[in-house]
Structure 1
Amino acid sequence: MVDVPPLVVARALPDQVPENAPAHCPGTESDLAGKASACAGCANQDACQSAPKGPDPDLPLIRTRMASVRCKILVLSGKGGVGKSTFTAQLAWAFASDMHTQTGVMDIDVCGPSIPTILGLKDQYIHQSAAGWTPVYVADNLACMSIEFLLPHANAAVVWRGPKKNGLIKQFLKDVDWTGGMADELGADAPKPAVDYLLVDTPPGTSDEHLAVVGCLRESGIDGAVLITTPQEVSLQDVRKEISFCRKMQVPILGVVENMAGFVCPSCHARSDIFYPSTGGARALCEELGLVFLGSVPLDPRIARSCDVGESFVDAYPDSPASEAYTHIIAQIKRLVRKTDTA
C-alpha cells in the first residue's frame, strides 16, 4: 500500500455514509453517528462516534483557494476506456494555446492517473512552499496536479479506501497553488482571477472521487461538466448514469462528446465504424435527454502515439479529421463557458 506524505486526515463530506454502511445509516455528520440502533455491529461504529461533527472546516479554505479560478470544468465518463483523459489533455492544450490564458489540470483519478503521461510529465515531482503545493508546469500557462507526482515510483499501486481518496482530493483543492505565485501580486481585490480554466479529470463512474470533488466545490461553483462516451449502447448505458448523477448533484452539463466514432485512415481518410452506434449513438441520446451534442471524434492511430509521447495531437496533426473534430468541439465548450460566465 502506498502512503503519500504529507496528507491530511480524511474527513467525510456532508451526508456521506461510510463504506459498507448498514441500512438506515444516519451518516457521519449526524449527532446520532455511531449511536443509532442501525449502528450496532457496524465495523465503522467507533470511528463514526468519535469523528468530528458539524460543518467541514476545510470548505472555507477551499472556497478561498478556488477564488483564484474563474472556470471549473469536470470531465466525466460513465465507463473506462472512452478517451476521457485524452480529451481532457486536448482541451487543456487548446485553452493554453492562448498565451494570455492560464490553465490548470487536476487529475483526481487516484488509482489510475494517466494525465501526467499524456501531458509529457513523466518522472516529475511537485514542490511545497509557503503558498502550498506547486503543480508541475507543462508550459508557463499550463499546470498539472496528480497523485503520480507524489508516488515513490511509476509502478506504485495506490490501494486506498474512499475516505483517504477524499482526503487527497480535498488537499488538491485547498493546498495547491494554481496561481504560480501570482496570488500575492494580484491581491485579494484583483478584478481578474489568476487561473482562467481548471479542468478536473475524473475516474470512471459516480463514486467516492466524484462525490468528493462535487461536495468540496459546491460553494465555489462548478461551471459545468463535459461527458465523454463512445457510440455503442454499452457505453451509452453508463453515460446515462453519469447524466443522472450530474442532475442529482446539480452539476450543469455543458454537453456530450462522442469519442472513437469510427476509424479514419490517416492516408485516404476513409471511415469505418469500429463501435457501431446501434441505438443512434450520442447524438440520439442528447436529443432524447435534451442535452447539447458537442460532436464526434473519429479514431486516429496517431492519437495514441501522441498520448504516449506527451504531445498535443491537434498541434502535431492539424489536418487530421480528428483534429478538426477536436477543434470544433473545443470551440463550442469555450462559447458555452462564456455564456455561463455572463449568465
Structure 2
Amino acid sequence: MKQENSVNNQKLAVMEQDIKIARSMSLVTYKIAVMSGKGGVGKSTVTVNLAESFVKKGYKTGILDADLHGPNVPKMLGIHKTELMVDENGMVPVETANGIKVMSTEFLLPHENSPIIWRGPKKTGAIRQFLSDVNWENLDVLLIDNPPGTGDEPLTILQSIPSLDGMVIVTTPQSVSLEDVEKCINMAKKLNIRIFGVIENMSGFICPHCNEEIFIFGRGGGEEISKKFDIPFLGFLPLDINTYQASEEGLSIIDKDPGSEISKRILDMVTKVEENLKNKRG
C-alpha cells in the first residue's frame, strides 16, 4: 500500500508540474529548440547569434541553456559571473545589456569549473524545473540550446514543452556530423516536431588577410541533407576569427559587428525562420 501511494504521489507531482510548465510556456509566443547531432559544431554560438538577431528584429527574446554539462551561453553573452535571483514568481532569468533573458546551470555553480555529475533522472528533473519555475514573463521567442544528440536532455525538452513550434539543426559539413544529424531529423519525425531548417556551420574559413574563403571541412553537406529529407536549408556560416573573438569578449558577432558578412547571413537565417513561424501560425 505504501509503495502504491508513493507511485500515485509521484504521478500527481508530475501532473502538477506539467500544469506549471504549460502555464509558464503559454507566456512565450514562439518556442524553438536548437539541436545538433554531435558536439563541437558551434551550436551554442549559433544560438546566441540567432537570439541577438531576433532582438534586432524587435522580438523579446530568451535563451534556455539546457546543455547542463557544458553551459557556455552565459560566458558567450558576458553574464557568467552574475548571481541568480529568485522572487515570489520563481527563478528570475539573468538579463543581458540587450535584453536577452537567460537561464543556465552556470548560474547555479559555486565555481566556473565546478562539474555537474548527474545521472539521467536528476538531469530530467532540472530541465523540467527550468521550464516550470523560471519566470520568463512575456517573451516573443525562447530559444532552447540543447546538448548534442538524442538523449535524456533533448528528449525531455521536446516532450515537455507544449506547442513547441519547431527546431533548428546545426551541423558541420563533415560526414561524421551529417550522420548524427540524420538521427536528429529522424527523432523529430518520430516526435512529430517541425524542423525550421538546417544551418551548415564551419563551412569554410575566411582568411583575415585576403578575405578568401577556404573550405577546410568541405562544403554542401548540410544543404544535401536538407534536400534528402525535404526540409529547409537556412544557409552557410564560415569559420571566422571575428566571431571567435566576439565570443571571448562576451559578445555576439551580431552585436560587435552588425555590418559583417557573418551577421548578414545570420539575420537572413532568422528572417527565414520568422517566415516559417508566421506561416505555421497562419
TM-score by shorter chain over 0.5 = yes
Aligned counterpart in structure 2 of residue 225 of structure 1, from 147, 167, 176: 167
What root-mean-square deviation, in Å, do the aligned CA atoms of Structure 1 and Structure 2 show?
1.9
Alpha-carbon distance in 2 for matches of 1:118, 1:60: 33
User: What count of residue pairs does the alignment treat as equivalent?
Assistant: 278
How many angstroms apart in 2 are the aligned matches of 1:285 and 1:52?
A: 42
* Counterpart residue number, 2:147: 203
Structure 1 letter corresponding to 2:196: L
Deviation per CA, 1:255-301, whole angstroms, max 9, x where unpaired? 00000100012342201111024xx4111111111010110011111
Of 3, 7, 17 in structure 2, the residue corresponding to residue 58 of structure 1 is 17
Work out the CA distance in 2 between the residues paired with 1:320 and 1:95: 17
| CA distance in structure 1 between the aligned counterparts of 2:203 and 2:179, rounded to whole angstroms | 16
**Residue in structure 2 matched with residue 282 of structure 1 by the alignment:** 222
Counterpart contact for 1:103–1:197, Cα < 8 Å: yes
In structure 1, how many angstroms separate the alpha carbons of the residues matched to 2:243 and 2:249? 10
Alpha-carbon distance between aligned partners in 1 of 2:72 and 2:27, rounded to the nearest angstrom: 26
How far apart in 1 are the matches of 2:84 and 2:94? 6
C-alpha separation between the residues in 2 aligned to 1:266 and 1:321? Answer: 13
- Unmatched runs of 5 consecutive residues or more in structure 1: 1-33, 36-47, 180-193
The Cα offsets for residues 162-191 of structure 1, whole Å up to 9 and x where unpaired, read as 100111111111110111xxxxxxxxxxxx
Higher relative contact order (CA 8 A, sep 6+): 2
Query: 2:215 pairs with 273, 281, 285, which one?
Result: 273
- In the superposition, the TM-score normalised over structure 2's length comes to 0.93
Matched, 1:128 2:128: no
Does residue 1:166 correspond to 2:129, yes or no? no
Following the alignment from structure 1 to structure 2, what is the Cα–Cα distance between the partners of residues 165 and 97?
Answer: 33
Structure having the higher helix fraction is 2
Equivalent in the alignment of 2:276: 336
Q: Partner letter of residue 254 of structure 2? A: V
Give the distance between the partners of 2:265 and 2:128, measured in 1 at CA.
Answer: 34
Question: How far did 1:51 drift?
Answer: 7.4
Equivalent position amino acid for 1:95 in 2 = F
Classify the secondary structure of the residue corresponding to 2:64.
strand
The 1:157–1:50 alpha-carbon spacing in structure 2 relative to 1, beyond 3 Å, is farther
Pair member with larger Rg: 1
Distance (whole Å) between structure 1 residues aligned to residue 92 and residue 7 of structure 2? 36
Give, in angstroms, the shift of residue 319 of structure 1. 4.2
Contact map agreement 2:53 2:266 (CA 8 A) in 1? no
Taking every aligned residue pair, what percent have the same amino acid on both sides?
40
* Selected match of 2:32 from 66, 73, 79: 73
Q: Residue 46 of structure 2 aligns to which amino acid in structure 1? A: F
User: Is the 8 Å Cα contact of residues 34 and 144 (structure 2) preserved in structure 1?
Assistant: yes
Aligned to 1:321: 261
Whether the 8 Å contact between 1:298 and 1:321 is mirrored in structure 2 is no
- Does 264-273 or 148-157 show the bigger shift? 264-273
Deviation for aligned residue 1:228: 0.2
